Amino acid sequence: EPEVTQTPSHQVTQMGQEVILRCVPISNHLYFYWYRQILGQKVEFLVSFYNNEISEKSEIFDDQFSVERPDGSNFTLKIRSTKLEDSAMYFCASSYTGGGGELFFGEGSRLTVL
């Protein structure tokens, strides 16, 4: 069964460092997303991406965050200068359609900022 894969599974970084989280969405999917979940809290939408551009972003997704699809398979989330409050599980997701159907989530990348 096709799946969304994410790397790394866990990353520890120092405050102020840049972090790149990587995702390989399902191959024929066209819509890509990042969500995050701070420990013990709700899953929160960060950004959606389609046709090589951001289609929607949340208030959380400020100038410190960026997304990119550098080639035909990878989808990345970059945090330029990490803060303690960026510590969370980051989930990549993809879907074939934008309107309906299901969203396929990866297993997540746990980011710990010290």
Partner 1 sequence: DAKTTQPPSMDCAEGRAANLPCNHSTISGNEYVYWYRQIHSQGPQYIIHGLKNNETNEMASLIITEDRKSSTLILPHATLRDTAVYYCIVRPLNTGFQKLVFGTGTRLLVSP
Binding site for partner 1 (CB under 8 A): 4, 31, 33, 35, 37, 42-45, 48, 50, 55-56, 58, 89, 91, 93, 95, 98-100, 102-108
**Least distance CB 4 / partner 1 (angstroms):** 7
Q: Are 16 and 80 in contact (CB under 8 A)?
A: no
What phi and psi, each to the nearest 5 degrees, are found at residue 90?
Answer: -110, 125
Instruction: Compute the distance between CA of residue 96 and CA of residue 18 in angstroms, rounded to an integer.
Output: 30
Task: Name the strand (E) or helix (H) holding 36.
Answer: strand 31-37
Task: State which residue, 75 or 91, has the beta carbon closest to partner 1.
Answer: 91
Of the pair 9, 74, the CB lying nearest partner 1 is at 9
Least distance from C-beta 91 to partner 1, angstroms?
5
**Residue 92 CB, nearest distance to partner 1 (Å)?**
8
Question: Collapsing DSSP states into helix, strand and coil, what is residue 86?
Answer: helix
